[in-house]
């Protein structure tokens, strides 16, 4: 059996992680780097700083948007088996879900548009006049106890931000897709993801329900003077970035709907197993030709104004031009994250997959730390 070699930039990456924890920018995390002939794995800092419980490689995290790629991969797995089609309309499965376009028309939304965030749905900005806030729509990281039917009804009652297919806008598309996948499965979204993704990959700690409370990381948030423990519902509003509402208690309430956009829990080790399956061709969950479709640009020339040089695939952001994006990844690389404090990248041309799960929002998701980790890996 082939034994991976130690990662050549391990000391450099260790220094980046140690500095971030020492500066109280990150409380703790699990960091994994994998390639065809090397591997790096490190758990650092604390899962619970106040109780002095160290981070471990099997620590469980609230996954937030790291949920999305696994839910998105479930759709093409169903498509391979003839249970779903990219051009299927949402109304086929959810007849009551018919939000209006800005012009007052009632357009159809396709599975493809949900997968690519071109459905016209968005996320709340937490502003007082935000229609999603007024409708009290749950994003899957707060609103514990909210049922799927209730949330979809609220979402359908708010007009779309754009006509489907005309604009890329990150948002609630995967929550709607998740509801559809549960219907196609004949049970729940959790059963669908388990059947097509997590069970075939032996991802035993990744699911929509938490079964081991003792291993769950305590969440922390950015604050002046460093990361502080979240206590109850908290609103994090970093300067120049979107505002987020967090409810750490949601994960404990099994009445909460299974959010396809943000509702899973899991370990970094499990998630690396998923990404590596995709990087290496898809087995045992997807055919190679399906993977090639899923990791390609799927939004054509639609502009992502927040991310020059990037487009979007079915599984995450897709790198079109590394020079414009100013990143060391090879063109065609994928990346995304999770607002509870996670970031990942999969660079098939370079043969490098990076997973960083932290318990610190937002620094572990889209702060300077993730660029420091990336640069240490690619140095």
CATH number of 70-198: 3.40.710.10
Query: So what's the pLDDT on residue 128?
Result: 75
Contact 70, 190 (CB under 8 A): no
What is the sign, positive or negative, of the torsion defined by CA atoms of 343, 352, 196, 292? positive
Judge whether 64 counts as a catalytic residue. Answer: no
Residue 337 near residue 65, CB atoms below 8 Å = yes
All residue ranges of the chain with pLDDT < 50 are none
Q: What are phi and psi of 179, to 5 degrees?
A: -60, -40
CB contact burial 174-199 (16+ within 10 A = b; e otherwise): bbbbbbbbbebbeebbbbbbbebbbe
Return all residues near 231 (Cβ < 8 A) that are at least 6 apart.
none
Residues 6+ positions from 162 with CB-CB distance below 8 Å = 101, 102, 120, 169
- Locate the domains of the chain by residue range: 5-65+202-378, 70-198
The tens digit of pLDDT for each residue in 253-273 reads 999 999 999 999 999 999 999
Q: What is the pLDDT of residues 299-345, one digit of tens each?
A: 999 999 889 999 999 999 999 999 999 999 999 999 999 999 999 99
**Predicted pLDDT at 240:** 66
Determine whether domain 5-65+202-378 maps to CATH 3.40.710.10.
Answer: yes
Contact 361, 84 (CB under 8 A): no
pLDDT, residue 127, reads 76
pLDDT of amino acid 238? 76
At which residue do the structure tokens 């509870």 appear? 340
* Predicted pLDDT at 239: 72
């Amino acid at each position: 059996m082939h034994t991976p070699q130690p990662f050549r930039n391990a000391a450099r990456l260790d220094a980046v992680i140690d500095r971030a924890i020492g500066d109280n920018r990150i409380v703790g995390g699990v960091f994994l780097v994998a390639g065809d002939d090397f591997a790096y794995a490190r758990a650092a800092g604390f899962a619970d700083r106040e109780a002095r419980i160290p981070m471990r490689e099997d620590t469980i995290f609230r996954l937030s948007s790291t949920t999305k790629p696994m839910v998105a991969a479930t759709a093409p797995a169903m498509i391979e088996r003839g249970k779903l089609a990219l051009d299927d309309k949402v109304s086929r499965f959810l007849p009551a879900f018919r939000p209006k376009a800005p012009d007052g028309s009632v357009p159809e939304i396709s599975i493809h548009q949900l997968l690519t965030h071109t459905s016209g749905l968005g996320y709340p900005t937490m502003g007082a006049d935000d229609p999603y806030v007024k409708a009290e729509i749950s994003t899957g990281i707060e609103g514990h106890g909210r049922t799927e039917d209730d949330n979809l009804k609220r979402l359908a009652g708010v007009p779309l931000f754009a006509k489907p297919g005309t604009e890329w806008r990150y948002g609630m598309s995967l929550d709607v897709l998740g509801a559809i996948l549960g219907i196609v499965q004949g049970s729940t979204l959790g059963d669908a993801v388990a059947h097509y993704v997590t069970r075939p990959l032996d991802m035993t700690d990744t699911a929509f329900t938490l079964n081991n409370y003792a291993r769950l990381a305590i969440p922390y948030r950015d604050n002046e003077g460093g990361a502080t423990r979240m206590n109850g519902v908290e609103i994090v509003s970093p300067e120049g970035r979107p505002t987020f509402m967090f409810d750490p208690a949601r994960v404990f309430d099994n009445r909460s709907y299974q959010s396809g956009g943000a509702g899973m829990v899991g370990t970094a080790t499990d998630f690396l197993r998923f990404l590596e399956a995709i990087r290496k061709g898809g087995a045992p969950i997807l055919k190679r030709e399906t993977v090639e479709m899923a990791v390609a640009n799927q939004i054509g020339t639609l502009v992502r104004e927040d991310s020059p040089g990037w487009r979007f695939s079915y599984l995450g952001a897709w790198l079109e031009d590394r020079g414009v994006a100013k990143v060391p990844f090879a063109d065609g690389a994928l990346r995304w994250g999770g607002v509870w404090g996670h970031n990942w990248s999969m660079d098939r041309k370079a043969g490098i997959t990076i997973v960083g799960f932290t318990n610190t929002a937002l620094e572990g998701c889209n702060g300077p730390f993730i660029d420091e980790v990336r640069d240490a890996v690619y140095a």
